[in-house]
Amino acid sequence: MTEKKEKKIRGTVVVTVERCKGCGFCVEFCPTDALKLSEQYNAKGYHPPVLTAQELCSGCDMCGLLCPDFAIYGTRLKARA
Ligand code: SF4
Ligand code: SF4
């Protein structure tokens, strides 16, 4: 198996943890299964989302479009050479 030097990061998410109510919409509808609900709780007692694997996120912002509480958004990053 050949190994690449570094996987290119294409996107990431920004989560405002305290706004999240743990509904899971972002996790359910992420097209690349890049999200899961964290084991951690926020102050309201909900599990906010975290990336399962950075390289899976395309930065498409589907999560941001679907979140009812504006608690997450996706953004594209410049590819690293
Ligand atoms: S859609 Fe929004 S409120 Fe629901 S789990 Fe995701 S970040 Fe939290
Ligand atoms: S930005 Fe797109 S790929 Fe990244 S976590 Fe959100 S829905 Fe998934």
Range of the domain at 70: 11-76
Rounded to two decimals, what is the model's pTM? 0.88
pLDDT of residue 7: 60
**How many domains does the chain divide into?**
1
pLDDT at 68: 98
pLDDT tens-digit series, residues 21-55? 999 999 999 999 999 999 999 999 999 999 999 99
pLDDT band at 78 (very low <50, low <70, confident <90, very high): confident
| 36: three-class secondary structure by DSSP | strand
Strand partners for 50: 36
CATH value at residue 26: 3.30.70.20
CB contact at 8 A, 31 and 62: yes
Distance 23 CA to ligand 1 centre (A): 5
Question: Residue 4 pLDDT > 60, yes or no?
Answer: no
CA dihedral 65, 77, 46, 66 (to 10 degrees): 10
Ligand 1 near 36 CB (within 6 A): no
Query: Could you tell me if the CB of 30 is within 6 A of ligand 2?
Result: yes
Quote the Cα angle for 14-15-18, to 5°: 150
Residue 59 domain-assigned? yes
